[in-house]
Amino acid sequence: MTGWIPDADALNLFTGPRLQWPLTAEQLIDMELLDGFSAWIAVDEELTAVGHFDLTLDHRTARLGRVIIDPEKRGRGLAHALIHLAIARARELDADEIQLNVIAGNGPASRTYERAGFTRHPTPLRPGVERMFLAL
């Protein structure tokens, strides 16, 4: 999956400042140590990985992060399916809300979240970073 992120700008869209370029598997594995953290890979019929997301549960709020679709499989509606998987996993974790941050101007990501019912918080997290919420 690290091969899906070709440069530092793509890494910033994927995860913001949380992880460092070049992304390594070790950085992702270290995230597994976070309380309430779970990471998920979506696969196709041949069990090939096509997407990834993670959830960090804090009380009953699930923070959705590191959403990505294989660059070769983008533009086919897979992100909508991925987000519905993330929502289902968050419900299974007994979350009552999902929060996420998205870099302003990331059209495909914002559109995906809006289509899934997420709404924007009126106050950005910081300039250029929007917060979105979904009540479960």
Ligand X SMILES: CC(C)(COP(=O)(O)OP(=O)(O)OC[C@H]1O[C@@H](n2cnc3c(N)ncnc32)[C@H](O)[C@@H]1OP(=O)(O)O)[C@@H](O)C(=O)NCCC(=O)NCCS
Footprint of ligand X (CB under 6 A): 13-14, 67-69, 74-80, 102, 106-109, 111-112, 115
Report, in Å, the least distance between residue 59 CB and ligand X: 22
**Residue 67: other Cβ atoms inside 10 A:** 21
Strands of 49-58's sheet in order across: 37-43, 49-58, 61-69, 97-103, 129-135, 119-120
Report, in Å, the least distance between residue 79 CB and ligand X: 3
Contact 84, 121 (CB under 8 A): no
User: Any alpha helices (H) in the chain, and if so which ranges?
Assistant: 8-15, 25-31, 78-92, 107-115
Angle at 103 between CA 2 and CA 114, to 5 degrees: 100
Residue with Cβ nearer ligand X (94 or 114): 114
Residue with Cβ nearer ligand X (80 or 126): 80
d(CA 85, CA 11): 22
Report, in Å, the least distance between residue 16 CB and ligand X: 8
Which residue has its beta carbon closest to ligand X?
107
Report, in Å, the least distance between residue 84 CB and ligand X: 11
